Amino acid sequence: MNQRHDLTAPLPPLSVSGRDALVRAELAKRGATDALVVFDLNNIRWLTGFTGSAGTLIVRNDEMVLVTDGRYGEQARFQLATSGAAARVFEARSAAALREGVEQSLTNATHVAVDPNEVTQAQFETLRTQTTATMVPTVGVVQHLRRRKTEAEIARMRRAAACTDAALAECVEMMRHRPTERDVRDELEYRMRRHGADGPSYDTIVATGPNGARPHHRPTSTVIESGHSVVIDVGALVDGYHSDMTRTYLIGEVDPVMRQMHDVVRESQLAGLAAVRAGVTAGDVDKVCRDIIADAGMADLFIHSTGHGVGLQIHEQPWVRTAMSEPLQAGEVVTVEPGVYREGLGGVRIEDLVVVTESGCNILTESEKDISCLQLAPT
């Protein structure tokens, strides 16, 4: 468990000041455009601090404008002032006014950048009626900039990881008393909130016995029994930022094959952690993990990528998978999570969340991951 983290200490302020300039510089590298229209709410939050569920952000060379409806006007003004965003709010009280806000913000624009991965066809068609500018498909401008986290962002992810560690440590004992998968999930999520998390990062996975062979199993009424492996994939959300961790527990006397699977995955995961550092490609980290599993004759049981970036989204750039040739950068936060799955028997996955550094990585998730053979309590 993460003993060194004070779960009650105030988090450092999260400033977005200067991020608009980073976007403009990135756009300049990619070619001449007059504006970027941002629809994705995570990207809007990263640029402005705004957490509402409806808004469109226009980034011009001389200003940023957040267009939102009357439900969020006061919230937007407060959050933008608090975060240090260099943006103004256009508050609309009708659909026509929302349209007008976007139209005004794009006045005199001739080339407008839009990320096709974050806009629906309906949004794109509506935007075309709001400006005569040429639409320029521009992929991943903000997502690329989000990859490297600030200390304030990492502090939130460290807190989320500590909430997860604390909750899991308190829930291990209950697995000795034949709970259901849902029982364990519910207790984990309750305890993460008790430790200060806003909630779970995603649908918590608790998969026992043969259910563990499904990497994204949804918890059921299946009872944890002796001889099972139990895969627990759990994360907490703190002030918009996620954590992500997986541990696998062995209950009582398990099949020797399952014990071997755990040994191999743990070796693979430790090697993957040792491989992470700035300058190494994500594909190289994936290969380190995959080679160890392949050498054990389990290559066909490793059925997913080794990891992914984490931040405002639980899955974001960079992707730690085969053939990813872009080097990792200091400040990126990624998972390392090899796993093997045998249909009819179960699965093993071990995952940590790490911050990439120049010399290696800092591990944020600290729960024990040695083989844990839990004996069921007497009935």
In a structure prediction context, what are the per-residue pLDDT tens digits for the chain, which is 379 residues long?
Answer: 445 678 989 999 999 999 999 999 999 998 878 999 999 999 999 999 999 999 999 999 999 999 999 999 999 999 999 999 999 999 999 999 999 999 999 999 999 999 999 999 999 999 999 999 999 999 999 999 999 999 999 999 999 999 999 999 999 999 999 999 999 999 999 999 999 999 999 999 999 999 999 999 999 999 999 999 999 999 999 999 999 999 999 999 999 999 999 999 999 999 999 999 999 999 999 999 999 999 999 999 999 999 999 999 999 999 999 989 999 999 999 999 999 999 999 999 999 999 999 999 999 999 998 876 677 776 5
Q: How many CA atoms lie within 13 A of 67 on its CB side?
A: 22
Tell the residue number behind the tokens 């700035």, with chain if given.
Answer: 278
Q: How far apart, in whole angstroms, are the C-alpha atoms of residue 253 and residue 369?
A: 18
Q: Where are the beta strands (DSSP E) in the chain?
A: 35-38, 56-60, 64-69, 88-92, 111-114, 134-137, 199-200, 205-208, 229-234, 236-238, 241-242, 245-251, 307-309, 316-320, 333-336, 339-342, 346-349, 352-356, 361-363, 373-374
User: Residues 34, 133: contact at Cβ < 8 Å?
Assistant: yes
